[in-house]
Amino acid sequence: MFSITPEAAARLSALLQQEPDADKLGFRINRTLSGCGSHDYSISITEQNHDELSMLLGDLRFFYRESDLPFLDDLQIALNRETGRLLIRQSTAPESSSCILPNNRP
């Protein structure tokens, strides 16, 4: 499925512990379509929806739908030590493409 570095797991755990109902919450990886058909990812702290499955990755609970599995495959969550921000990327995703977006045409 996906992996998370120890530093990123510690960061997410610390964020979750700030929530008053942390024992009822988990994380959801959100995928949005960006330019040229690639995807951007974000993580939200949330409750589990009735149509979601859950999995533990270390001590962290993640929620997902069965249909999300192809997009979670080979996903890597890490922490940028310089900025303290989470980095989420799919290691098998193609490198940046050379497509031209409508707003960037010469």
- Neighbouring CB atoms inside 10 A of 96's CB total 9
- Which of 26, 27, 31 lies closest to 70, judged by CA? 31
CA distance 20 to 93: 37
Q: What does the domain layout of the chain look like in residue ranges?
A: 2-93
Beta strands in 11-96 (DSSP E): 26-33, 39-46, 53-57, 60-64, 75-79, 86-90
Which tens digit of pLDDT belongs to each residue from 12-22? 999 999 999 99
Which tens digit of pLDDT belongs to each residue from 32-85? 877 776 778 899 999 999 999 999 998 999 999 999 888 888 899 999 999 999
**2-93: CATH architecture:** Sandwich (2.60)
More confident residue, 14 or 99: 14
Give residue 32's pLDDT: 84
Predicted TM-score of the model (pTM): 0.80
CA distance 44 to 28: 5
